[in-house]
Amino acid sequence: MKNANIANILRDIAFLLEMEEGEDNSNIVFKIRSYKRASDVIANLSSNVEEVYATHGLKGLMQIPSVGKAIALKIEEYLTKGKIQYLDELKSKTDIDIDGFYGLEGIGPKTIKIVYDKLGIRDLSGLEKAASEGKLRSIRGFSEKKEEIILKKIQLFKKGRSRYLLGEVYPLIKQIETRLLKFNGVKNAVVAGSFRRMKETVGDIDFVVACNDVEKVMDYFVSMPEIDEVFGKGSTKTFVRLNNGMDADLLVVPEESFGSALQYFTGSKEHGVAMRKIALAKGLHLNEWGIFDNSQHRIAGSTEEEVYQTLDLEWIPPEMREYLGEIELAKKGAKGLPKLIEYNDLKGDLQVHSNSTDGTMSIEEMALAANEKFGLQYIVITDHTKSLKLTNGLDEKQLLDQANRIAELNDRIRRVPDKTERQRINEVDLSASTPRTKSSNFRILSGAEVNIMRDGSLDIPNNVLDKLGIVGAAIHSNFSQPIEVQTDRLIKAARNPSVDIIFHPTGRRINKREGYPVNIEKLVDIANDTNTILEIDAHYDRLDLKDEYVRMAIQKDVKLVIDSDAHHPVHFGFLKFGIGQARRGWAEKSNILNTMPADELLRCLK
Ligand code: DGT
Ligand code: CA
Ligand code: CA
Ligand code: ZN
């Protein structure tokens, strides 16, 4: 699967263009944006770009959303020649180690260019050194404060770099899993470890495969194009480094051990240790090969269900296996496990952006994809509001105009989409892993992601907000105030009768920034008192609320929703990460309001 490579190449081009062409030339700005968008789409695409090209050629590439002719030609060049001349030319103009800077939030190509021009800094460690030695402040536009921020960002970035965001690696890893599953002689193949537990970040990848011809699978595995380096190859395990920098383990076991091997390598370690103690107390022995009695007879191991059952436990969903009380609940005669929300339970998405602000597609296109590709029944368009100038936030009049347009669209949406609209979302499979039937009476609801100001007030008055379908409020600025101040801002928003939902309540961006400090217990209590919904933002770098806060909210009976925060149709695919996070927080279907049809949901609002 070359998608990740292609996405990186397009991202490289955007980065280099932005660095080289510092001018505010709108032509270049447009071009940079197109490359960024195409890179984002391809990174999150579930279909294989290489296959699209093999079957449909250049035309096929141009059907990929946000890929126009110029970019399609670059992709073709890469697929046929293994490199892109344009990129090589851009790269030859600089000797900055751009790879080392990727993912460093808030320090963009322009800053990197400036510190290179002024101080000759070429890589991340050079930047860190200069910042810690106080050398950046001599550059015009830099200050001691800015230097401090840069240093903090580098440190957070370095800390996070050894772990990957789940959503960042998900498409590639799923692709490898499917490939293993299809390989001749393979009876079963599952990605175990933290990936299967849907942890927000993953250290390494653990593939567990059932096959009787161990050697054959291992040879196949190490021959995959994504494998950069083979560290070791034993009789049952292979250790490799993937070309995205991640390490992966492959364990191959006979069919009768698949369940116990999967159970072992899914972890968590603490959960596994507790399981083995239970086995010992029953006079049994549990390891990756099975459950054995005193005379070394295997009495279970082919399925996980069998393993749990033999220990008198209910089967425990992987997302719950963190040794946080799940084993007690799963014991025979105990209360039983919660019945977690399922991956196909969502009916709508309450945070969706359009190209009226910083989204990249029209309301119609977002709706069409949500309906036809992701099987949703409704979406709420929640564009940013006026005080967020960077996103071209909407003012009162624009919000109301948009709401009127949405009302008209709902009448029109039952018509057949026109040819261009259809082309842009068709051909390429954008679907979530479970294909679902589309809804015949899809609805778009009007809304807003209204900005919470420094003092907790909103930038749009209530009489306007009340004309919208659903209103979410969120903090986007003034992060560095003390916890009491931040909590009060959120509480004031929650007390506002026009605010239905608090979006991404803690503002974190995993591995990028910590978010603002919030007294989450207090927020949960106020949400409960005021019938305000808290959001689980499913974007894989937010996952906000996170698992432990989800659990806290549920214990207090606060209602939650899971939203994609989509700025492009492919982003609806992020919903699964939000559901994973909700399951890690032990959420049931009834805890998540957007598992309900739109009418019912609207009746639950304050
Ligand atoms: P990661 O890779 O850091 O995101 O986290 P995991 O949970 O995937 O951990 P990893 O890859 O080190 O090991 C995969 C699973 O294998 C782990 O969740 C449980 C099991 N495991 C690994 N080492 C041990 C161990 O020393 N004892 C026990 N009981 N299980 C282990
Ligand atoms: Ca792992
Ligand atoms: Ca591992
Ligand atoms: Zn936002």
449 in helix, strand or coil?
A: strand
291/298 Cα distance (integer angstroms)? 6
**Per-residue confidence (pLDDT) for residue 417, from 0 to 100:** 61
Atom of ligand 1 nearest to the CA of 194: 8
The rounded Å distance from CA 272 to ligand 3 centre is 14
Given a cut of 70, is residue 441 above it in pLDDT? yes
Given a cut of 70, is residue 285 above it in pLDDT? yes
Atom of ligand 1 nearest to the CA of 269: 19
295/310 Cα distance (integer angstroms)? 16
**Per-residue confidence (pLDDT) for residue 108, from 0 to 100:** 82
pLDDT tens per residue across span 520-542: 999 999 999 999 999 999 999 99
Contact in structure between 543 and 578 (CB atoms under 8 Å): yes
Alpha helices in 431-544 (DSSP H): 462-465, 483-495, 520-530
Given a cut of 50, is residue 432 above it in pLDDT? no
Cα dihedral 176/226/107/562 (nearest 10): 0
pLDDT tens per residue across span 334-392: 999 999 999 999 999 999 999 999 898 999 999 999 999 999 999 999 999 999 988 88
Structure tokens at 75: 């992709």
In the predicted model, what is the mean pLDDT of residues 84-102? 87
136/149 Cα distance (integer angstroms)? 11
The rounded Å distance from CA 163 to ligand 2 centre is 10
Ligand 1 neighbours by CB, cut-off 6 Å = 193-194, 202-204, 206, 264-265, 267-269, 272-273
**Mode of pairing for the β-strands spanning 298-300 and 227-233:** unpaired
Contact in structure between 446 and 372 (CB atoms under 8 Å): no
pLDDT tens per residue across span 106-157: 788 888 888 998 999 999 999 999 999 999 998 988 888 888 888 888 887 7
369/439 Cα distance (integer angstroms)? 12
Task: Write out the residues surrounding ion ligand 3, Cβ under 5 A.
Answer: 204, 206, 249
Average pLDDT over the chain, rounded to an integer: 91
Structure tokens at 229: 């380096």
Structure tokens at 32: 């940079």
Alpha helices in 441-574 (DSSP H): 462-465, 483-495, 520-530, 547-555
Atom of ligand 1 nearest to the CA of 201: 4
Structure tokens at 269: 């370690």
pLDDT tens per residue across span 452-464: 999 999 999 999 9
Name the residue with tokens 């961006």.
Answer: 509
Considering 23-32, 420-429, 464-473, the range whose residues carry the highest mean pLDDT is 464-473
Contacts of 389 (CB under 8 A, 6+ apart): none
Kindly report the protein residue whose alpha carbon is nearest to atom 3 of ligand 1: 203
269/322 Cα distance (integer angstroms)? 8
**Per-residue confidence (pLDDT) for residue 355, from 0 to 100:** 94
472 in helix, strand or coil?
A: strand
366/570 Cα distance (integer angstroms)? 9
Kindly report the protein residue whose alpha carbon is nearest to atom 10 of ligand 1: 193
pLDDT tens per residue across span 181-231: 999 999 999 999 999 999 999 999 999 999 999 999 999 999 999 998 999
256/322 Cα distance (integer angstroms)? 26
Given a cut of 80, is residue 429 above it in pLDDT? no
552/558 Cα distance (integer angstroms)? 9
Given a cut of 90, is residue 94 above it in pLDDT? no
User: What is the number of the ligand closest to the CA of 239?
Assistant: 3
Cα angle 513, 518, 521 (rounded to 5 degrees) comes to 135
**10 Å Cβ neighbour count for 331?**
14
Span of 105-109, 445-449, 544-548 with lowest mean pLDDT? 105-109
In the predicted model, what is the mean pLDDT of residues 400-405? 96
Structure tokens at 180: 């293993």
The rounded Å distance from CA 542 to ligand 4 centre is 10
591/587 Cα distance (integer angstroms)? 6
Count of CA atoms in the C-beta half-sphere (13 A) of 455: 2
Kindly report the protein residue whose alpha carbon is nearest to atom 23 of ligand 1: 269
The rounded Å distance from CA 241 to ligand 2 centre is 13
Given a cut of 60, is residue 427 above it in pLDDT? no
Contact in structure between 136 and 150 (CB atoms under 8 Å): yes
Biggest distance spanned by C-alpha atoms of the chain: 78
Kindly report the protein residue whose alpha carbon is nearest to atom 15 of ligand 1: 265
In the predicted model, what is the mean pLDDT of residues 505-516? 90
Atom of ligand 1 nearest to the CA of 267: 18
**Per-residue confidence (pLDDT) for residue 1, from 0 to 100:** 60
The rounded Å distance from CA 220 to ligand 2 centre is 21
pLDDT tens per residue across span 165-181: 999 999 999 999 999 99
Task: Write out the residues surrounding ion ligand 2, Cβ under 5 A.
Answer: 193, 204, 206
The rounded Å distance from CA 247 to ligand 2 centre is 9
Confidence of residue 160 (pLDDT cuts 50, 70, 90): low
Structure tokens at 71: 């970019």
**Per-residue confidence (pLDDT) for residue 43, from 0 to 100:** 87
Contact in structure between 185 and 201 (CB atoms under 8 Å): no
Structure tokens at 19: 């660095």
Given a cut of 50, is residue 328 above it in pLDDT? yes
For the range 134-137, what are the long-range contacts, defined as Cβ-Cβ under 8 Å and sequence gap of 24 or more? Answer: none
Kindly report the protein residue whose alpha carbon is nearest to atom 20 of ligand 1: 265
**Per-residue confidence (pLDDT) for residue 390, from 0 to 100:** 82
Rg (CA), the chain: 25
Given a cut of 50, is residue 436 above it in pLDDT? no
286/299 Cα distance (integer angstroms)? 10
**Per-residue confidence (pLDDT) for residue 128, from 0 to 100:** 93
Given a cut of 80, is residue 409 above it in pLDDT? yes
DSSP string, 141-203: T--HHHHHHHHHHHHHHHHHTTSEEHHHHHHHHHHHHHHHHHSTTEEEEEE-HHHHTT-SEES
Pocket test for ligand 1, best of 265, 273, 319 (most atoms within 8 A of CB): 265
The rounded Å distance from CA 26 to ligand 1 centre is 50
Cα 51 from chain centroid?
Answer: 24
Considering 60-64, 120-124, 135-139, 263-267, the range whose residues carry the highest mean pLDDT is 263-267
Confidence of residue 434 (pLDDT cuts 50, 70, 90): very low
